[in-house]
Amino acid sequence: MAEFKLRIDGMHCGSCVRRVTQALAATEGVKVEEVLIGTARLNAAETAPVELAIAALAKSGFPAHLEP
């Protein structure tokens, strides 16, 4: 598994952390390691689940992008 870090816009409280965590946990192929305000660290078996995680966050109202 490869570790990825996402930068997440629009987070500002504990409720946002919970919503992001739930959206990522529901994404198949992604294992959530840590979610903090503005960022998430996760593991995925391949790069496709990362794109699915970004899409799931966008659907939840949190634009995100992969950090280098």
**Which residue ranges make up each domain of the chain?**
2-66
Please give the Cα distance from 28 to 31 (Å, whole number): 8
Q: What integer pLDDT is reported at residue 14 of this predicted model?
A: 96
Greater confidence (56 vs 68) lies with: 56
Q: What integer pLDDT is reported at residue 9 of this predicted model?
A: 97
Task: At 6, list the tokens.
Answer: 């996402």
pLDDT 10s digits, 3-56: 999 999 999 999 999 999 999 999 999 999 999 999 999 998 777 788 999 999
Greater confidence (7 vs 1) lies with: 7
Q: What integer pLDDT is reported at residue 43 of this predicted model?
A: 93
Under CATH, which architecture does the 2-66 domain have?
2-Layer Sandwich (3.30)
Please give the Cα distance from 28 to 36 (Å, whole number): 21
